[in-house]
């Protein structure tokens, strides 16, 4: 008899692991934010009182960062589904989210508090950075297997 609620001969359904869920959420957040920064930066930032006022250089900088964040999100999300990408995706996710969150905290200390939406973003970034960081630590404890054999 196979697993509950699975047809005979079919492999049992895989439950999502915490790592898969964490990387998927972290990836989706980066994809959505990066996509918005890339495609509609002025609209996206208007809610926090940031105005571009036709400054094409600032729009270009924002779109560049948005594209990088979008690509990062794709990698992080793929790490939840492609086993060989799990560790690098978690590492990239931890570095990017913690860099954003800690940089915003530094900005708050130096410049004062920003709009409430940016404070909330800081909290989310730090949480996602810790989630990804925990995955990195979990994988660091596992034995290393070489990607390429040295022929021995």
Give per-residue pLDDT as tens, 23-53. Answer: 999 999 999 999 999 999 999 999 888 898 8
Distance CA 58, CA 101 (A): 21
User: CA gyration radius for the chain?
Assistant: 20
Residue range 11-31: average pLDDT? 82
So what's the pLDDT on residue 53? 86
Per DSSP, the three-state class of 130 is: helix
| Cβ proximity of 115 and 69 under 8 Å | no
Give per-residue pLDDT as tens, 87-97. Answer: 999 999 999 99
pTM comes to 0.81
Is the alpha carbon torsion for 117, 122, 123, 124 positive or negative?
A: positive
| Cβ proximity of 19 and 80 under 8 Å | yes
- In Å, how far from its chain's centre is CA 105? 18
So what's the pLDDT on residue 3? 46
So what's the pLDDT on residue 127? 97
pLDDT-derived band at 1, boundaries 50, 70, 90: very low
């Amino acid at each position: 008899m196979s697993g509950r609620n699975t047809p005979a001969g079919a492999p049992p359904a895989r439950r999502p692991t915490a790592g898969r869920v964490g990387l998927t959420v972290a990836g989706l957040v980066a994809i959505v934010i990066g996509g918005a920064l890339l495609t509609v930066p002025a609209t996206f930032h208007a809610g926090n009182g940031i105005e571009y006022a036709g400054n094409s250089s600032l729009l270009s900088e924002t779109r560049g960062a948005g594209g990088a964040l979008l690509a990062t999100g794709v990698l992080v999300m793929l790490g939840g589904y492609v086993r060989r990408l799990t560790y690098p995706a978690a590492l990239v996710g931890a570095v990017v989210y913690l860099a954003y969150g800690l940089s915003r905290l530094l900005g708050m200390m130096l410049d004062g508090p920003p709009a409430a939406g940016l404070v909330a973003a800081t909290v989310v970034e730090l949480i996602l950075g810790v989630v990804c960081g925990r995955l990195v630590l979990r994988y660091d404890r596992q034995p290393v297997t070489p990607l390429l054999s040295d022929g021995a």
